[in-house]
């Protein structure tokens, strides 16, 4: 097992803190690290794609789980895979796709680990029909504070606390997953432009049930009658028989093409004002008004930014704040008001995506709730950003909505209980399971989890 002292951040590169990093290569080494973690505790960490401080632990230890990356068994008939928590979704796709299976849920990056996917209970473009990641977990092995390895299954309090629990109930060591059957590595994609936010919401309500995957990019620089204009993209896996003859010969090939390298740091002058507005105008006008059945590779549809080097640095040296919230059906006016406030403030928001959520998962701290979710990136150095986002938090909480904790880096703790009604249950189980605080993170201390 390797050990070093490192300064760590989330993907947004805000609030770096220093910790002792352990890289266990066996379950026994992981258990020994947890038992000897010291007063500042420990937290598991995967590939570092959480945007905030959920996988940091100032002055304590961090367990880098990426060396525990075995795919143990694959049931090719049932689409069931047993793997270590350090296996990435990228690796699973490479192995499973030739066998005719695809990961059940993927976020906008495939470079997350299975343990991280469960700990954050990640969601993807198919949340409205498939739910979040934990719905597809049949069981998991959890290393608890006392060094015991427990088998945890859905329907138990420990599973509900662990799914979306951000690593605070223990270290996920392995998981058994159910995957999605596919017969090709291609997507059939329908794209259309909407004129404003109401137009987008109407189209999502009317047609989302016909698609497995759906998401919309929103131009948050547009104002007036164009507020909330968007590009709506929806897709389905293409069956082998529907592919062109040449492609049909190798229907399950997987190739992720790298994108041209971006500069390591974008000059601050290009992050706001006219350049951002021009970029959004070109992106909106460059999208088709209405196009159906375009063939796209899996990587292009699901993970278009994974091939972009330095993708986390586009908002300058101070880093990026990823802000994502959800509000329920019937709270559309709150969503409209927040979109108007962002556009009127001329925020240089990027990667703004709106999706329609279906049923939430069992996780007590899982993010999805039936309704709407909007996610966007903002430069951390933007003047007045903290106060502005605090005011948005209050609107979200007042509407019975919530902020995504896996992406959070600045939420005020007093709003947490209003956003997550099972918070008291989570804290109570943690106190019983881990009375000495073996599992801690910067996020858990900041929010008193």
Whole-number pLDDT of residue 268: 47
Helices (H), 58-126: 89-96, 114-119
Indicate left, alpha or beta for 186 from its phi (over 0: left) and psi (-120 to 50: alpha).
beta
Does pTM top 0.75 for this prediction? yes
Which one, of 263, 268, 377, lies nearest residue 10 by Cα?
377
What percent of the chain clears pLDDT 70, i.e. is strictly above it? 94
Q: Are 269 and 251 in contact (CB under 8 A)?
A: no
Whole-number pLDDT of residue 277: 78
What are the tens digits of pLDDT across the range 317-334?
789 999 999 999 999 999
* pLDDT > 50? residue 222: yes
Which one, of 436, 443, 438, 395, lies nearest residue 419 by Cα?
395
Identify the band that residue 279 occupies on the pLDDT scale cut at 50, 70 and 90. Answer: confident
What number of CA atoms fall less than 13 Å from residue 233's CA on the CB side? 19
What are the tens digits of pLDDT across the range 8-55?
999 999 999 999 999 999 999 999 999 989 999 999 999 999 999 999
Return d(Cα 116, Cα 126) in angstroms, integer. Answer: 18
Average pLDDT over residues 326-351: 95
Identify the band that residue 276 occupies on the pLDDT scale cut at 50, 70 and 90. Answer: confident
Q: Which residues contact 266 (CB under 8 A, 6 or more apart)?
A: 313, 314, 315, 316
Each residue of 401-433: b (16+ CB within 10 Å) or e? bbbbbbbbbbbeeebbebbbebbeebbebbeeb
* pLDDT > 90? residue 315: no
Tokens standing for 428?
């109570």
**Out of 136-140, 196-200, 250-254, which region has the weakest mean confidence (pLDDT)?**
250-254
In the beta sheet, which residues pair with residue 3?
22
What are the tens digits of pLDDT across the range 53-87?
999 999 999 999 999 999 999 999 999 999 999 99
Identify the band that residue 443 occupies on the pLDDT scale cut at 50, 70 and 90. Answer: very high
Q: Are 35 and 68 in contact (CB under 8 A)?
A: no
**Out of 36-50, 159-173, 306-320, 341-355, which region has the weakest mean confidence (pLDDT)?**
306-320
Whole-number pLDDT of residue 306: 85
* pLDDT > 80? residue 385: yes
What are the tens digits of pLDDT across the range 97-125?
999 999 999 999 999 999 999 999 999 99
What are the tens digits of pLDDT across the range 178-216?
999 999 999 999 999 999 999 999 999 999 999 999 999
Whole-number pLDDT of residue 318: 81
Tokens standing for 165?
């629990």
Whole-number pLDDT of residue 313: 61
* pLDDT > 70? residue 312: no
Give the chain's mean pLDDT: 93
Whole-number pLDDT of residue 269: 44
Whole-number pLDDT of residue 254: 84
Identify the band that residue 264 occupies on the pLDDT scale cut at 50, 70 and 90. Answer: low
**Out of 40-44, 78-82, 253-257, 289-293, which region has the weakest mean confidence (pLDDT)?**
253-257
Whole-number pLDDT of residue 136: 98
* pLDDT > 60? residue 265: no
């Amino acid at each position: 097992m390797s050990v070093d002292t490192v300064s760590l951040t989330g993907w947004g590169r805000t609030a770096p803190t220093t910790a002792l990093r352990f890289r266990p290569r066996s379950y026994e080494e992981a258990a020994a690290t947890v038992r000897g973690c010291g007063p500042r505790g420990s937290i598991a960490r995967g590939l570092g794609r959480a945007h905030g401080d959920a996988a940091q632990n100032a002055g304590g230890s961090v367990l880098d789980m990426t060396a525990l990356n075995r795919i143990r068994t694959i049931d090719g008939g049932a689409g069931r895979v047993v793997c270590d928590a350090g296996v990435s979704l990228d690796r699973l796709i490479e192995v499973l796709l030739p066998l005719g299976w695809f990961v059940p849920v993927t976020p906008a990056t495939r470079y997350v680990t299975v343990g991280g996917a469960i700990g954050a209970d990640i969601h993807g473009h198919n949340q409205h029909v498939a739910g979040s990641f934990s719905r597809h977990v049949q069981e998991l092995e959890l290393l608890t504070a006392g060094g015991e390895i427990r088998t945890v299954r859905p329907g138990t309090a420990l599973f509900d606390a662990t799914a979306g629990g951000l690593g605070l109930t223990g270290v996920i060591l392995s998981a058994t997953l159910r995957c999605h059957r596919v017969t090709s590595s291609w997507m059939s994609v329908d794209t259309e432009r909407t004129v404003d936010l109401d137009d987008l919401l109407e189209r999502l309500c009317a047609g989302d049930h016909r698609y497995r995957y759906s998401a919309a990019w929103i131009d948050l620089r547009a104002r007036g009658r164009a507020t909330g204009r968007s590009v709506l993209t929806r897709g389905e896996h293409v069956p082998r028989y529907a592919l062109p003859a040449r492609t049909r010969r190798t229907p399950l090939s997987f190739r992720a093409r790298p994108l041209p390298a971006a500069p390591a740091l974008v000059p601050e002058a290009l992050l706001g004002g006219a350049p951002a507005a021009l970029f959004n105008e070109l992106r909106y006008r460059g999208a088709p008004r209405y196009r159906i059945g375009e063939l796209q590779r899996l990587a292009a549809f699901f993970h278009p930014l994974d091939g972009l080097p330095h993708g986390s640095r586009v908002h300058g040296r101070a880093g990026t704040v990823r802000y994502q919230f959800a509000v329920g059906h019937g709270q559309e006016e709150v969503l409209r008001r927040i979109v108007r406030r962002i556009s009127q403030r001329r925020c240089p928001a990027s990667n703004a995506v709106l999706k329609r959520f279906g049923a939430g998962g069992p996780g007590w701290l899982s993010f999805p709730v039936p309704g709407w979710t909007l996610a966007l990136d903002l430069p951390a150095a933007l003047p007045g950003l903290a106060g502005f986002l605090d005011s948005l938090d209050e609107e979200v909480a007042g509407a019975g909505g919530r902020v995504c904790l896996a992406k959070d880096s600045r939420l005020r703790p007093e709003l947490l209980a209003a956003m997550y009604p099972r918070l008291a249950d989570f804290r109570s189980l943690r106190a019983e399971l881990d009375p000495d605080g073996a599992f801690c993170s910067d996020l858990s201390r900041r929010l008193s989890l």
